[in-house]
Structure 1
């Protein structure tokens, strides 16, 4: 399930436009944090109720991250799961201060989320023996605001393997690229690898790691990235790129939806349509700028390549300069990780981001 975050330090009515936008684009889960300043408990309870009621009305699933000492401040009780459901909370992520007995009991009343960073195979096995319902439980990883502290991919995979083996679902966070949350404003990813990915690239990567619930950790992401999610639902991967030529007609042609050939190449994405449908007018003269083709280079084979003339490619890794190949643009760095997921038969579309650059 795809989700986003709503933080209660800001009034709900100031966040409604954003909440509706994500709802309309298929985000069904809302994550919120109830780690609250004691002096603001009444305000937070009111905002939580507003959020919950809106979520119930819109058939959204609210997961609230809560520590034991926040329950009393919000006048909530684990013994009254119906009370939590009444205000729209569908699941609780149990953080500091909750014992195994409480988790077991609550799992028999509602969905619960356990902190993946503190959960051990031993404690999980003990809770399952005591009657915890595994199908009601998600192991949710933390997000990591400080650069260099996000999880390694190896550790992430190791823990996810035994979560899945035990019958738990897995949740993780991907970072935003707009209005990043303070105090560091460096994104809120689970994996450190994702710190400098686009939100969409991080999302796709988590999907390929078999994560069940994928949550935008930061409050927002740009409209350009949201367009990538919309295209994804239609089976197309959008790739943002900088042009290196000024030919508007050619750039428009290059921005049509294309398909990677089914016989997937090792070194490049090869446009099926470029030669089969003759997308580019010929002859294509060499541009005499025989530059290296770093990862993400968008190229067209020129007339020196004979029958390959007109083939559009995107390099998957660094390739040498070739006088038979014209370089016409390059995928932006934050979208480069997406290239590994354009397998044979995958549709893609180039979106030009700025004016011509010849770097």
Structure 2
């Protein structure tokens, strides 16, 4: 499941409402927000959360709210009146520090409750069990990290998640956006440091290997990246944008499926054999860099017409024509095109 973030530092504008609608239409199913309230804004935050809940309900979106007990009370809500939160569209609460495990256990009987994945201990598990928490409603949500060099190590993340899953927790993590990055640092909001600056969909697919819910930490996705998410969510297809290097690229553009016998060095299109391709004349040889899009020429005899995307740098080959290049931003997606994975190659020139 994929979700996205909406921050309540301002009221819901028409632009934000349109963004929420777009995200829902393109397959996203949850909103994350935070209710950490400045002293003088309590009344405004109550209205903003109520408005956001209304929009979330309208588009059938989950709404997880990061909250402390103090901020909740200043906004006019209470843990003792969880039904009121559910009524306005809040579907879950992510608990901040200083909220007791007994209180978390009581709330878990009414709604999904997210704990800070990084700080859950054996002691917490024991206390929650003793308090008869509903573990089917307990989730473990990781943090995002605005400051470079402070986000989580991938190996630690996976080890922690394995431990959490042994207790039945649903696991969540954040990946950065690529538009409207959150200030004041504007360096993305990832859970894993290696995802900072990475293509958001590539980062999301990476997390999905051992994460149940992936949310965009920042406030926006570019139109092109949103389209790539949409294709993946609706058709399970990975779209790669390709820079044209030769007119023969017309033979390789379009929809493909990676062969079931996955190659080490290249993605091999299983669809190539069904394409009506004429005699392919050799082109001047080029080194095949990561993301090179190639078609075998007539010198490869029965392999003529084979279409590939290169997964690691390979030497030039007089039998292989390099006709396109996956743009740098999309190259991180290549490793996620596994055996049987649908993908498409689309020209950036034709999209302009």
What is the correspondence of 1:97-136 to structure 2 with a 5 Å cutoff?
A: 97-136=98-137
| C-alpha distance in structure 1 between counterparts of 2:202 and 2:219, whole Å | 17
Unaligned runs of 5+ in 1: none
CA shift digits 1:323-354 (9 cap, x unpaired) = 22121222223322322222222221012224
1:287 paired with 2:303, answer: no
8 Å CA contact 1:201, 1:334 repeated in 2:
no
Describe the SS at the equivalent of 1:12: coil
In the alignment, which residue of structure 2 is the partner of 1:78?
79
1:154 aligns to 2:155 (yes or no): yes
1:320 paired residue number: 315
Alignment of 1:198-277 (within 5 A): 198-209=199-210, 211-232=211-232, 233-245=234-246, 247=247, 250-274=248-272, 276-277=273-274
- The alpha carbon displacement at 1:217 in A equals 1.0
Cα distance change, pair 279–203 in 1 and its aligned pair in 2 (3 A): farther
Give the Cα separation in 1 of the matches to 2:311 and 2:276.
Answer: 22
Q: 1:344 aligns with which of 339, 343, 351?
A: 339
C-alpha distance in 2 between matches for 1:148 and 1:328: 38
Offset at 1:163? 1.0
Structure 1 residue 42 displacement after superposition: 1.2
Match of 2:293 in 1: 298
Counting matched residue pairs gives 348
TM-score by length of 2: 0.94
User: Does the Cα contact within 8 Å between 2:21 and 2:59 map onto a contact in 1?
Assistant: no
Of 109-118 and 324-333, deviating more is: 324-333
Structure 2 unaligned regions, length at least 5:
none
Shift of 1:6: 0.9
Query: What is the rounded CA distance, in whole Å, between the counterparts of 1:225 and 1:9 in structure 2?
Result: 25
CA distance in structure 2 between the partners assigned to 1:344 and 1:58 by the alignment: 35
Contact 2:108-2:137 at 8 Å conserved across structures: yes
Q: Which residue matches 1:182?
A: 183
Correspondence for 1:17: 18
Instruction: Return the alpha-carbon distance in structure 2 between the equivalents of residues 114 and 197 of structure 1.
Output: 26
Distance in 2 of aligned mates of 1:228 and 1:125? 43
With 177-186 and 339-348 compared, the bigger mean Cα shift is at: 339-348
Task: Determine the C-alpha separation between the residues in 2 that align with 1:199 and 1:258.
Answer: 22
CA–CA distance in 2 between the matches of 1:268 and 1:338?
13
Q: Output the CA distance in 1 between the equivalents of 2:275 and 2:3.
A: 41
TM-score by length of 1: 0.92
What is the RMSD computed on CA atoms of the aligned residues? 1.6
Preserved contact between residue 298 and residue 312 of structure 1 (Cα < 8 Å):
yes
Higher mean Cα deviation, 97-106 or 168-177? 97-106
Q: Secondary structure at the match of 2:191?
A: coil
* More displaced stretch, 316-325 vs 334-343: 334-343
Mapped partners of 1:306, 1:58: distance in 2: 55
Find the aligned partners of 2:231 and 2:81 in 1 and give their Cα distance: 42
TM-superposed CA distance for 1:279, in Å, is: 4.2
The CA distance in 1 between the partners of 2:175 and 2:337, in whole Å, is 20
Segments of 4+ in structure 1 off by > 4 A? none
Following the alignment from structure 1 to structure 2, what is the Cα–Cα distance between the partners of residues 348 and 57?
Answer: 33
Alignment-derived partner of residue 88 in structure 1: 89
Distance in 2 of aligned mates of 1:178 and 1:61: 22
- Measure, in 2, the Cα distance between the counterparts of 1:164 and 1:258: 35
Counterparts of 1:264 and 1:321, CA distance in 2: 22
